[in-house]
Amino acid sequence: MSDKQTFSISELAKEFDVTTRSVRFYEDQGLLRPSRRGQTRIFSSKDRVRLKLILRGKRMGFSLAETKELFDLWDETLSGNEKQLLLMLETLARKRDQLEQQKNDIAQAEMEMETAEARCREALEELQKKKQQATA
Amino acid sequence: MSDKQTFSISELAKEFDVTTRSVRFYEDQGLLRPSRRGQTRIFSSKDRVRLKLILRGKRMGFSLAETKELFDLWDETLSGNEKQLLLMLETLARKRDQLEQQKNDIAQAEMEMETAEARCREALEELQKKKQQATA
DNA sequence: AAAATACTTTACGTTTACGTAAACTTTATC
DNA sequence: GATAAAGTTTACGTAAACGTAAAGTATTTT
C-alpha cells in the first residue's frame, strides 16, 4: 500500500485530509515538485514524505516558508559541500532550541490544565452535595 | 517586581517583547480587559497573566480565537453552573489530545533531526579524510 | 456520443494578526 | 510655556494560507 511509487493529487489529498488546492499551493510555493504526464501532476513517494513533513510542521506552528527553508537547505546539504553542511548543523541546533521551548510550553500547559480540571471536579462535587441537601 | 499591581501598555509590551499595537489588538479581540484612567489603559496582573498565556498559545500554534474561547469558557466556568463545568471538562479533554499529538510530532521531529545531524557529521568526516589525502 | 469524473490554469476573495501612518490628547521635562 | 514622551483613536495596508468560482482539457463510464 504505502510502498506505492506514484500518487495522484487527489490520492494525496485524501490520505492526508487536505484539499487539492492546498497541495497545488504547496507546489506553487516550491515545497513540492511533482513531475507531469501532460499537464497532470504525478507525485513521487518523496513528495508524499514532504507533504507529511509540511503538515507536521504546521501542527508545530511552522510557517510554510520555514519548512521550505529546511527543505532547500537539506537539498543543498546533500550536494555535500562543507559550508552547506556546517550551515545545516547550525540550523538544526537552532531548531532544537525551538523544540525545547515548545516542550516547556506544553509541560506548563499540561500542568495548568490539570489544576483547572481539578478545580472543575471540586466545583462539581460541591454542586452534588447541594443537590443532596435539597432532596433531604 | 513581579508582584506589581498595575502596568502600562509599554511596560507589558517591553516585558514580553511585543508591540503596543499587538496588545491593543488583543484587547480589541476581547482577550484583554484593561481598565482606564481617562483614556489610558491600566493593565492588572490578571491581564499580565493572560498576555503570557496568549503568547504561549501562539508558540503552540493556537489562534487568538482559540485562546479567547478558552478564556471565555473559563470565565463562565467560574460562575459555577453545572453545564459550564461539564463543557469545560470536555474542552480540557480535547485540548489534552491536541497536546498529545504535539508531543508525538515533537518526538518524531527530534528523532529525524538527530539522524539528519548524524548524516551531516559523517559527510563532514568524509570531507576531512579527502583533505588529508590531498595533503599526503 | 453524451455525460460524468478528474484534472488543469487563472484570478479574485477571505481571514488572521498585526504594521504603519495620521492626527490628536495627556503627562512629564526643561 | 514650549517641547518631548507616552498614550490614544481611526483607518488603510500587508503577508500568509488558502477558499472559491470560472472556464477549459482529458479520460472514463454509460
Residue whose CA is minimally distant from D7 C1': B40
**pLDDT tens-digit profile of A90-105?**
999 999 999 999 999 9
pLDDT given at position B1? 47
- Among the partner residues A77, A92, A106, nearest to B103 by beta-carbon distance: A106
Task: Answer yes or no: are the C-beta atoms of B82 and A127 closer than 8 Å.
Answer: yes
**Cβ contacts (< 8 Å) between B89 and chain A: which residues?**
117, 120-121
Q: In angstroms, rounded to a whole number, what is the distance separating the alpha carbons of residues B82 and B88? A: 10
Residue A69 lies in a domain: no
Residues A7 and A46 in one domain: yes
Residue A20 lies in a domain: yes
Residue A108 lies in a domain: yes
- Type of residue numbered B70: L
Nearest nucleotide (C1') to the CA of residue B25?
Answer: C18
**pLDDT tens-digit profile of B94-135?**
999 999 999 999 999 999 999 999 999 999 999 999 888 888
- Alpha-carbon distances of B116 from A77, A83, A84, A112, B101, rounded to whole Å: 10, 16, 13, 34, 22
Residues B57 and B104 in one domain: no
Residue B14 lies in a domain: yes
Residues A13 and A46 in one domain: yes
List, in order, residues 6 or more apart from A104 with CB less than 8 Å away.
Answer: none
**pLDDT tens-digit profile of B71-96?**
999 999 998 899 999 999 999 999 99
- Rounded to the nearest angstrom, the gap between the alpha carbon of residue B18 and the centroid of all alpha carbons in its chain is 13
Residue B130 lies in a domain: yes
Residue A71: name the closest of A51, A94, A90, A86 by CA: A51
Residues B88 and B35 in one domain: no
Residues B52 and B85 in one domain: no
Residues A56 and A88 in one domain: no
Residues B90 and B126 in one domain: yes
**pLDDT tens-digit profile of A31-77?**
999 999 999 999 999 999 999 999 999 999 999 999 999 999 999 99
CA-nearest residue of chain B to A76? Answer: B120
Residue B69 lies in a domain: no
Residues B5 and B58 in one domain: yes
Helix axes A20-28, A9-16, angle to 10 degrees: 110
Task: Answer yes or no: are the C-beta atoms of B57 and B67 closer than 8 Å.
Answer: yes
Q: How many CB pairs under 8 A join A and B?
A: 94
Residue B49 lies in a domain: yes
Residue B35 lies in a domain: yes
Task: Answer yes or no: are the C-beta atoms of A106 and B103 closer than 8 Å.
Answer: yes
Contacts 24+ apart (CB under 8 A), A98-101: A99/B106, A99/B109, A99/B110, A99/B113, A101/B59
Helix (H, G, I), strand (E, B) or coil at A51: helix
**Contact status of A97 with chain B (Cβ, < 8 Å):** no
3-state helix, strand, coil in chain A (%, to 5): 75, 5, 20
pLDDT given at position B24? 97
**Cβ contacts (< 8 Å) between A123 and chain B: which residues?**
77, 80, 85
- Among the partner residues A89, A99, A109, nearest to B110 by beta-carbon distance: A99
On the CB side of A14, how many CA atoms lie within 13 Å of its CA? 5
Query: What is the full DSSP assignment across chain B?
Result: -TT-SEE-HHHHHHHHT--HHHHHHHHHTTS---EEETTEEEEEHHHHHHHHHHHHHHHTT--HHHHHHHHHHHHHHHTT-HHHHHHHHHHHHHHHHHHHHHHHHHHHHHHHHHHHHHHHHHHHHHHHHHHHHHH-
Structural domain range at position B97? 80-136
Residues B86 and B56 in one domain: no
pLDDT given at position A54? 97
- For the domain that residue A40 is a member of, what is the CATH number? 1.10.1660.10
